[in-house]
Structure 1
Amino acid sequence: MSEQTPGKGDPQIAAPTITRKRQNRISWIWLVPVVAALMGLSLVVRTWLQAGTDISITFNSADGLEVGKTRLRYKDVNVGTVKSIGFNEDRSKVVVTAELAKEVSDLARDGTNFWVVKPRLDVSGVSGLGTLLSGAYIGVDAIEGKGKASKATKLTFEGLEIPPAVTHDRTGKRFKLKADNLGSLDVGSPVYYRRINVGRVIGYELDKSGDSVNIEVFVDAPNDAFVTSGTRFWNSSGVDFSVNADGLKVRTQSVVSLLVGGVAFEPVYTARGANKPAPADAEFELYSTEAQAKANPDGEAFDIRMRFDQSIRGLAVGALVDFSGITLGNVTGINLDFDPETKRFYSVVDATLYPERLGSVYDEVRELADKEGDVAGNRLLGGMIKHGLRAQLRPANLLTGQLYVNLDVFPNAKPVTFNPSVPAIIPTVPGNLDQLQQQLSNIVNKIEKIPFDKIGEDLRTTLASTSRLMNRLDKQVAPEAQGMLKQARDSMARINELLASDGSLPVSTERALQELNRAARSLRSLADFLQANPEALLRGRGADPIPGSGPVKN
């Protein structure tokens, strides 16, 4: 079948019109990557908005730390993660970069501490045992409450190698103690009040002057209220032995204080401000023993100086200065000096007194001194020296030979003029042993002055004269004495014969006594007659009356 073509005679057909369809330039398929991009951007923005703060912490080593695993914990709550670990410029330190969660970004501020928590053994016990299973983590300690800003204000920190002794969330007060030496104290040593553990030592350092040690302690609340302005602290390490009239006493705070040391405190109610609570960071003196801490209040110190011309062997720095059994102070220095007049060395002893220990007397003197613009110590010592106050060395222990300075009134001491000075000069008198030695020396000097040679010659002369006298007595006086004794013997024999019972003397004496007896009876009869007839003295004796013829007189 052939294809038919239109002929000329057929009607003409119009040419077709071609219309192209209009196409869109952006396809709907492109919505998928756009939505994906928007979702990714929103995730980035959300991540950026929720991202925390990156901080850097410097440690000596990265022991126990791992990137992406080691956490930062604040009050045992995860607040961040370690992102990287590197070195500083000289590679002497390890720099740990960590990310803090956004809600705790304000932890990155001044006062925040970071340290690595791991198992540790110290004087306060064992800590960090939980990290044996969970691994080490970085502990965070910050002041509670939000700062002025809700974002980080500090991004670089110096990490602690040991955990802080006291965290900021622990309530209580810090106090500073000043001691001559640290003793057996260490960070973590307990603080006792009435033998109850109420705090701990949190730090110590050498004073800038190098003469003392500054110790910082923390007392937990509510026990910090017992620390008043009159509180005394002392080192309670070891065992305190004392021997007195009551016998041997042994005191210690606890077994822990024997091993790691400790500090104890008690308020002294005789001190000023004993009932007023002490403010935080108040400074106190740390005494060596409980006895020193509980001594009378020190108050204002007053320096004195004494000169001793005798040996001071046994006197040491720290020796007591005693007055009537009360410790007024301690010896602070001992030196030698030369006297050009006597060409001899002498000892200069410096001491510090606390006149307030004398009680109300010093208070009255101080009031008068303040009114007149004078120094109370000089006024008080001036009056006492005028009445015989002197310093004297006395033995404190006969076994060890230790000495102490005794202030006492000696009425017979030579008068001394007191001139106020700094330090005040107090006159001295020899000690009891020195006085005894001086008296023995004076006796020996007097004995040496006795002329024993002349006395010996006189004694020999006297003995020679005595010998001659004895010879003369033997040759001359002895025969005469024998004759005299013979005559005396004869005389005694005659006297015996005369006094014999049948001798003439006793017989004559008996007769005389009889005559005297008769004479006495006659006189008695005469007296009776004259009493009855007194007229007989004038008329004489009349005729004898006839018996029975006259009146009868009874």
Structure 2
Amino acid sequence: MNKDDQDAPGIPTAVVVKRSKWRIQLVWLVPLVAVLIAGWLAVQSIRQKGPTITISFTTGEGIEAGKTKIKFKNVDIGTIKSVALSDDHKTVLASAEMSRNASSMLVDDTRFWVVRPRISGGTVSGIGTLLSGSHIGMDVGTAQKERRDFVGLESPPVLASGTPGREFVLKSENIGSLDIGSPVFFRRLQVGQIVSYALDPDGAGMTLHVFVNAPYDKYVTSNTRFWHASGVDVTLDTTGVKVNTESLVSILIGGLAFENPPDTTNKIEADARRQYELFADRAEAMKQHDTIVDRYVLNFKESVRGLAIGAPVDFRGIVIGEVTAIRTHFDLAGNEFSIPVEVSIFPERLISSDDSGGRVEQIPSERKVVADHLISKGMRAQLRTASLLTGQLYIAIDFFPAAPKVTVDWSKKTPQLPTVPGNLQGLQDSITSLVAKLNKIPFEGISQDLRKTLGDASTLMNTINTDVAPEAKATLTEAREALTSANRALQSDSPLQQSTAETMRELSRTAASFRSLAEYLERHPEALLRGKTEDK
């Protein structure tokens, strides 16, 4: 276009505008928004990311990096990111990334374990992992202190944190057939379980921790007795054979049981973690625990086979003590053996609760006076058989007025009470005396006289056979012939029978004639003088 054209009217003039070098083109807005979104997501991811923890296990079985989940109440709250050996190669360290909402659950007493199929304490757990694979279970603790390094459990905890109930401590000589998870019974109802056990530091016993679920924990009082209820309890004692068990579960996996004694009056609930003694069986647990114990020794010179430690000391059907020791003693002076049996006597059982009047706590000197008086009246100890089936023995305290007088030497550490031979020993003595008397009988002379008498009897029998028997035989033959003849004569068709019948008929006719004559003379007595007149 030339200059004249530009100056022509009605034609606009173009103005040149310079482009800004900071101007952003529209095409770059898309990646910019994408970057902003990515940044926002990254920030959100960082904000939602939870803490990283380390869990130590003895083995890495069932743990896989990137796959194994950490679950609480079957909800995923974390994932195992890496698995590696520890520096000393003794443990496996599993690093896990937890979700943000799990931060408050990672406290000092939080517990972790690998969930896999298990059979323990009569329960089966982790069956679902057969299809889904193992995972790590978690139980939240109650502590306030946070923690990031944990030691995994070898087995799942028996109880979840916060389970209502109380824990108690039991002391036992041995563990028996018990295990973690073994049931605890109350009146044959399962009310708890064993949560842990450990050997005492001195190795003299075991310490068990049991948990009794609510509301059954209120039945545990200061007087409660715990005992082993494992398997089948077969007892062979002075009363015979006893078979007892709590349930089929206790037969298979063992268990404990507890109960209050029948005469318990104090039923105040026990505090948590109270310590109790664990008895071997119910009979031992329910024994009366006496506060006063007098110890004596009983010296027997007979066999004590069948007498066991723990055998009762009986006074007319009431158990007043028990056997605590059985020993052997040889007396050089008397050149004989004896069996000292130590017993514990409980004086409280000899005093009626109605008449005690506080005399249970009488001083020992008073009990010595009472014992001397009773011994002077014939009180003695004697071995007796409790059961013919088992052969068990027990010690009976009774009165024997004919027993020799004795005194007790109270200066000895363990006084000796007098004894008398047992019933079995008395029977043996009687049999021995009888045998001695039988030995004095001259059986040889008696046998010779008897042999001579038998010889004379044999001679007599020969004489009878040779002399008397033939004559007796002839006599019997004649008697038989006489009986035969009599039998023939008495036959119905014999002449004697016919003649006798005819005679009897004649006699009947004669009697009838005499009867007619007598009747006529009764009517006509004058006929004796005048004769019979003809009837007109």
Counterpart for residue 212 of structure 2: 219
Deviation digits for residues 167-198 of structure 1, max 9, x if unmatched?
A: 22321122333445444333333222232222
For the pair 1:326 / 2:313, whether they are aligned, the reply is: no
Amino acid at match of 2:191: V
Deviation digits for residues 495-529 of structure 1, max 9, x if unmatched?
A: xxxxxxxxxxxxxxxxxxxxxxxxxxxxxxxxxxx
Deviation digits for residues 509-552 of structure 1, max 9, x if unmatched?
A: xxxxxxxxxxxxxxxxxxxxxxxxxxxxxxxxxxxxxxxxxxxx
For the pair 1:200 / 2:196, whether they are aligned, the reply is: no
Counterpart for residue 383 of structure 2: 393
Q: Is the 8 A contact 1:304 1:426 kept in 2?
A: no
Q: Is the 8 A contact 2:107 2:141 kept in 1?
A: no
Q: Which moved more, 1:218-227 or 1:409-418?
A: 409-418
Q: Is the 8 A contact 1:124 1:189 kept in 2?
A: yes
Q: Distance in 2 between matches of 1:427 and 1:156?
A: 72
Do the aligned partners of residues 398 and 83 (structure 1) sit closer, same or farther apart at CA in structure 2, a change above 3 Å counting? Answer: same
Q: Distance in 1 between matches of 2:435 and 2:240?
A: 43
Q: Which moved more, 1:185-194 or 1:34-43?
A: 34-43
For the pair 1:284 / 2:276, whether they are aligned, the reply is: yes
Deviation digits for residues 129-172 of structure 1, max 9, x if unmatched?
A: 2222332122222334xx435xx1x4433322111222223211
Do the aligned partners of residues 78 and 248 (structure 1) sit closer, same or farther apart at CA in structure 2, a change above 3 Å counting? Answer: same
Query: Secondary structure at the residue paired with 1:169?
Result: coil
Do the aligned partners of residues 417 and 70 (structure 1) sit closer, same or farther apart at CA in structure 2, a change above 3 Å counting? Answer: same
Counterpart for residue 98 of structure 1: 96
Give the length in aligned residue pairs. 416
Q: Distance in 1 between matches of 2:420 and 2:250?
A: 45
Q: Unaligned 5+ residue runs, structure 1? A: 1-20, 453-554
Deviation digits for residues 217-250 of structure 1, max 9, x if unmatched?
A: 2221111112223333333344467899x99986
Q: When the two structures are superposed, what TM-score results if normalisation uses the length of structure 1? A: 0.61
For the pair 1:403 / 2:389, whether they are aligned, the reply is: no
Counterpart for residue 144 of structure 2: 148
Query: Secondary structure at the residue paired with 2:130?
Result: helix
For the pair 1:269 / 2:262, whether they are aligned, the reply is: yes
Q: Is the 8 A contact 1:355 1:362 kept in 2?
A: no
Query: Between the two proteins, what is the percent identity of the paired residues?
Result: 41
- 1:235-384 correspondence runs (5 A): 235-239=228-232, 252-271=245-264, 273=266, 275-295=267-287, 297-300=288-291, 302=293, 304-310=295-301, 311-352=303-344, 355-358=347-350, 360=352, 364=356, 367=358, 374=363, 380=367, 383-384=370-371
Q: When the two structures are superposed, what TM-score results if normalisation uses the length of structure 2? A: 0.63
Do the aligned partners of residues 59 and 444 (structure 1) sit closer, same or farther apart at CA in structure 2, a change above 3 Å counting? Answer: same
Query: Secondary structure at the residue paired with 1:256?
Result: helix
- 1:345-494 correspondence runs (5 A): 345-352=337-344, 355-358=347-350, 360=352, 364=356, 367=358, 374=363, 380=367, 383-384=370-371, 386-388=373-375, 389-411=379-401, 412=403, 414-417=405-408, 419=410, 426-437=417-428
Query: Secondary structure at the residue paired with 1:387?
Result: helix
Q: Is the 8 A contact 2:84 2:92 kept in 1?
A: yes
Query: Secondary structure at the residue paired with 1:133?
Result: helix
Do the aligned partners of residues 447 and 135 (structure 1) sit closer, same or farther apart at CA in structure 2, a change above 3 Å counting? Answer: closer
Note the aligned Cα RMSD (angstroms).
4.6
Do the aligned partners of residues 351 and 33 (structure 1) sit closer, same or farther apart at CA in structure 2, a change above 3 Å counting? Answer: farther
Counterpart for residue 71 of structure 1: 69
Q: Distance in 2 between matches of 1:362 and 1:97?
A: 73
Q: Is the 8 A contact 1:303 1:422 kept in 2?
A: no
Q: How far does residue 117 in structure 1 lie from its aligned partner after superposition?
A: 0.9
Do the aligned partners of residues 443 and 129 (structure 1) sit closer, same or farther apart at CA in structure 2, a change above 3 Å counting? Answer: closer
Query: Secondary structure at the residue paired with 1:62?
Result: coil
Deviation digits for residues 186-215 of structure 1, max 9, x if unmatched?
A: 333322223222222333344455454443
- 1:162-173 correspondence runs (5 A): 162-173=155-166
Query: Secondary structure at the residue paired with 1:129?
Result: coil
Q: Distance in 2 between matches of 1:142 and 1:172?
A: 17
Counterpart for residue 170 of structure 2: 177
- 1:119-138 correspondence runs (5 A): 119-138=117-136
Query: Secondary structure at the residue paired with 2:386?
Result: strand
Q: Distance in 1 between matches of 2:38 and 2:368?
A: 92
Q: Is the 8 A contact 1:268 1:294 kept in 2?
A: yes
Do the aligned partners of residues 324 and 233 (structure 1) sit closer, same or farther apart at CA in structure 2, a change above 3 Å counting? Answer: farther
Do the aligned partners of residues 148 and 241 (structure 1) sit closer, same or farther apart at CA in structure 2, a change above 3 Å counting? Answer: closer
Amino acid at match of 2:421: P
Q: Distance in 2 between matches of 1:224 and 1:253?
A: 19
Do the aligned partners of residues 427 and 171 (structure 1) sit closer, same or farther apart at CA in structure 2, a change above 3 Å counting? Answer: farther
Q: Unaligned 5+ residue runs, structure 2? A: 1-17, 442-536
Q: Distance in 1 between matches of 2:81 and 2:180?
A: 33
Deviation digits for residues 41-95 of structure 1, max 9, x if unmatched?
A: 8877766665434333222211111112222223333333223212223322222
Counterpart for residue 462 of structure 2: none
Point out the structure with max Rg over C-alpha.
Answer: 1
Amino acid at match of 1:124: G
Q: Distance in 2 between matches of 1:281 and 1:176?
A: 6
Q: Which moved more, 1:304-313 or 1:337-346?
A: 337-346
Amino acid at match of 2:55: I
Q: Is the 8 A contact 1:386 1:415 kept in 2?
A: no
Q: Distance in 2 between matches of 1:327 and 1:409?
A: 16
Q: Distance in 1 between matches of 2:265 and 2:338?
A: 40
Q: Distance in 1 between matches of 2:178 and 2:273?
A: 19
Do the aligned partners of residues 142 and 243 (structure 1) sit closer, same or farther apart at CA in structure 2, a change above 3 Å counting? Answer: same
Query: Secondary structure at the residue paired with 2:102?
Result: helix
Q: How far does residue 276 in structure 1 lie from its aligned partner after superposition?
A: 1.9
Counterpart for residue 116 of structure 1: 114
Query: Secondary structure at the residue paired with 1:397?
Result: coil
Q: Distance in 1 between matches of 2:118 and 2:104?
A: 29
Q: Which moved more, 1:134-143 or 1:337-346?
A: 337-346
Q: Distance in 2 between matches of 1:160 and 1:172?
A: 23
Q: Is the 8 A contact 1:236 1:263 kept in 2?
A: yes
Q: Distance in 2 between matches of 1:369 and 1:253?
A: 37
Amino acid at match of 1:336: T
Query: Secondary structure at the residue paired with 1:349?
Result: strand
